[in-house]
A and B are shown apart, each in its own frame.
Chain A
Amino acid sequence: MQQILNFLIKYKVFLVFLLLLVSGLRLTFYAHTYQNTNFVNSTNFISANIYSMQASVSEYFNLKSQNEVLHQENKFLREQLLNLEGLNQLDTTKPKITQDLNLNDSLYTIIPAEVVSNSYNNPDNYLLLNKGTNDGIENELAIFSSLGIIGITEYTSANFSRVISILNRNISINAKLKKSNHFGTLTWDAVSVEVAKLKDVPRSAPVAIGDTIITGGKSFIFPEELPIGTIQDFELIQGYFEIEVRLFNDMTNLGKVYILKRNNKTEAISTLNKNDNESE
């Protein structure tokens, strides 16, 4: 007993170091697994509120560029609306779309949110949004802006939610070429904040520099045809194209974003699981 006590006293600094080192490494390993239920994250009360205070000040500096983006989006939506009305007036045999829209039956709900904190310097990046479970946010919802996709919600507290950014090595998103519907997987290789990688595109795809990449819609998270970026460069590796995609979004300057909620998601997933069980 005496010897054990002596040992503890003699090596107490080392033992404290070892204890803290193990807990630090444990937290690190958790952070590297996808879907971590890690309590060390910025959705907690103190850091989230400090971040939102800071965001409320710094958003004034981005007002001009944010306004420009919203203006462009308004222009685009107005054009679509006017063209749609024009079509309706021309063709009286088709049902009018402008009326009879029943919101209870709508497929998607869009919740506007603001980026409170944004990281882009690490190999695995996250965003913090100022909407949480109180606003109906769940895990695994799509985040996008008018320019393109941004990420997926991953952890929600009452008033804040953490988003796994597309600049994160754990994310993989189904994407396709706009021109030809060839699918691939969008990932990030931690090299540049402007460029993501689209992998596993079959060699028969007509890949050309400057072509547009959009979401493929083969998942319950992202709907089809949200913009992602344009092809900057590509190479053929083992029969598949590996494409460098220049993102439409400037991931270092994000302000207002949209959270997309698919209203029939639970139904769709339970149907899918049912089929799986039956086939087994």
Chain B
Amino acid sequence: MKANNRLYHIILFLSVVLAQVFIFDKLLILNNVVPYVYPLFIILQPPHANRIQTLILAFLLGLSIDIFQNTGGMHATASLVIAYFRPQLLHFNFGLSYDYQTLSINNAVLLKKISYVFLVILLHHVILFSLEFFNINLWQLFLEKLIASTLLSVLVNILILQLLQKQIK
């Protein structure tokens, strides 16, 4: 990782945490539905980044959110799980271009980008909300929150991705 690149990742890490805590957590849409933007950091990791490094970064990312939100280790766990299954999700979505190391998420086709972001967010939200509710009797509430939050998060994440892409070009 080049010095320039490292700086970019540090800034990205700090900005997703601060944006999550100070902007998106304050939104109150449709009775406590929140868009989660910090998985964007894991989505934007280089496709073939060092896996152990990615896992540790993802855990620290989630833990930072946990510290601000007083949620124990829920965000850390959810963020760790999506970092671990990232190669499988990338392979499932992008197939050969991932396997031959030519993939760049920013330049991918929009539809594939959306489906990739959707799968990452869905996995993240399933883990996060099941740890959050922690009670099988609340499954209806869990499903409601899962569906609403996933749709909102995917929308917001894709919008930010598209904006970032314009900036890079």
Contacts and interface: CB of A to CB of B under 8 A. Distances in A.
A28 B77 contact: yes
Most buried by B among A28, A38, A117: A28
B63 A40 contact: yes
A21 interface: yes
- Binding site secondary structure of chain B: helix
A42 B67 CA distance: 5
A13 B51 contact: yes
A26 B55 contact: no
Contacts of A42: 67-70
A28 B62 CA distance: 12
A169 B84 CA distance: 31
A21 B63 contact: no
Interface in A2-53: 12-13, 16-17, 20-21, 23-32, 36, 38, 40-42, 44, 47, 51
Interface string B60-82: 00110011111111101100110
Interface string B95-131: 0000000000000000000000000000000000001
Contacts of B33: 121
A31 B66 CA distance: 10
A120 interface: yes
B8 interface: no
B167 to A, nearest CB: 26
Contact of A126 (B70, B73, B134): B70
Interface in B21-58: 22, 25, 28, 31-34, 51-52, 55-56
B158 to A, nearest CB: 22
A217 interface: no
Interface string A187-229: 0001111000000000000000000000000000000000000
A41 B73 contact: no
A117 B67 CA distance: 12
A24 B131 CA distance: 11
25 contacts: A13-B52, A13-B55, A20-B56, A21-B77, A23-B73, A24-B74, A26-B73, A28-B71, A30-B73, A31-B72, A32-B72, A36-B72, A40-B67, A40-B70, A42-B67, A47-B67, A54-B22, A117-B68, A119-B70, A120-B32, A123-B133, A123-B134, A123-B138, A192-B31, A252-B28
Interface of A: 12-13, 16-17, 20-21, 23-32, 36, 38, 40-42, 44, 47, 51, 54, 117, 119-124, 126, 162, 169, 190-193, 252
Given A28-B71, A119-B25, 15 more contacts: A12-B52, A17-B55, A17-B84, A21-B77, A21-B81, A25-B131, A41-B67, A42-B68, A47-B67, A120-B32, A121-B33, A122-B69, A122-B71, A122-B132, A123-B132
Interface of B: 22, 25, 28, 31-34, 51-52, 55-56, 59, 62-63, 66-74, 76-77, 80-81, 84, 131-135, 138, 141
